[in-house]
């Protein structure tokens, strides 16, 4: 649809007000929130990611595109999240230490909330101990770690090992994800669950808590 192409293109230009207006228009046209996310916002961010890789755009452009993406996602939030459902479990989520990427992590949080899970969001650049402390304080079922950099994904191994060495071992499951993460990496560090996207992360978290 034309409006989804517009969303992608305004996002690539980092024009947050335009992105918001088009997302609202798409909602008004009855386009499902999931399609607006995938075929509009994520499409635009993927193109920016490619251009970034090819040195056609630079960090400032990517940053304003990311801000526009966050504004668009905020509008979709009520449609992706069902409020007031009974809590089915607790997840502590964060982006690992040294890593500031939070769009994927925020999507995972929203999808998990949409499944009725309580989510404690620790933000970005989260040191190992902070995950464990939050898991203890909130009696969490799951620690969920996101990483977007090949240089920070190794932090996940530290989280797994810290949990194993603590009284949380066996009580708290560790979920991991993010663009550079694979099932093979998950197996190699001994994490409990890898999922490639936000929707499957929410399904897996629900299954773990059930």
Residues that bind ligand B1M (CB under 6 A): 42, 45-46, 48-49, 52-53, 59, 62-63, 66, 98-105, 107-108, 144-146, 148-150, 175-180, 195, 197-198, 201
Minimum Å gap between C-beta 192 and ligand B1M is: 10
Residue number with CB closer to ligand B1M (31 or 152): 152
- Closer of 28 and 55 to ligand B1M (Cβ): 55
CB nearer to ligand B1M: give 29 or 62: 62
Shortest Å, Cβ 45 to ligand B1M: 5
Min CB(41)–ligand B1M separation in Å:
8
**Distance of closest approach, residue 81 Cβ to ligand B1M, in angstroms:** 15
Interaxial angle between packed helices 103-114 and 59-80, expressed in degrees from 0 to 180 and rounded to the nearest 10: 0
Nearest to 176 by CA among 110, 108, 124: 108
146 bridge partner residues: 95, 177
Nearer to ligand B1M, 29 or 161 (CB): 161
Q: Which is nearer to ligand B1M, 29 or 188 (CB)?
A: 188
Give the whole-angstrom CA distance, residue 143 versus residue 164. 12
Report CA-CA distances (Å) from 10 to 4, 13, 45, 141: 10, 5, 10, 39
Q: What is the nearest approach in angstroms of ligand B1M to the Cβ of residue 202? A: 9
Two structure tokens written together for 39: 């075929």
Residue tagged 């999922």 (tokens): 195
Gyration radius of the chain's alpha carbons: 17
């Amino acid at each position: 649809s034309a409006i989804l192409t517009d969303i992608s293109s305004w996002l690539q230009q980092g024009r947050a007000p335009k992105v918001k207006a088009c997302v609202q228009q798409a909602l008004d046209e009855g386009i499902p929130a999931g399609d607006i996310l995938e075929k509009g916002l994520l499409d635009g961010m993927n193109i920016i990611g490619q251009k970034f890789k090819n040195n056609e755009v630079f960090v400032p452009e990517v940053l304003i595109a990311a801000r526009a993406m966050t504004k668009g996602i905020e509008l979709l939030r009520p449609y992706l999240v069902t409020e007031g459902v009974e809590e089915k479990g607790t997840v502590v989520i964060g982006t690992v230490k040294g890593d500031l990427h939070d769009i994927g992590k925020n999507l995972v949080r929203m999808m998990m909330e949409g499944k009725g899970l309580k989510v404690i969001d620790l933000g970005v650049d989260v040191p190992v101990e902070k995950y464990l402390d939050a898991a203890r304080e909130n009696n969490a079922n799951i620690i969920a770690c996101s990483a977007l950099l090949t240089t920070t994904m190794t932090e996940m191994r530290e989280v797994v090992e810290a949990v194993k060495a603590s009284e949380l071992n066996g009580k708290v499951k560790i979920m991991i994800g993010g663009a550079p993460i694979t099932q093979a990496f998950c197996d190699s560090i001994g994490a409990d669950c890898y999922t490639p996207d936000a929707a499957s992360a929410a399904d897996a978290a629900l299954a773990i808590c059930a």
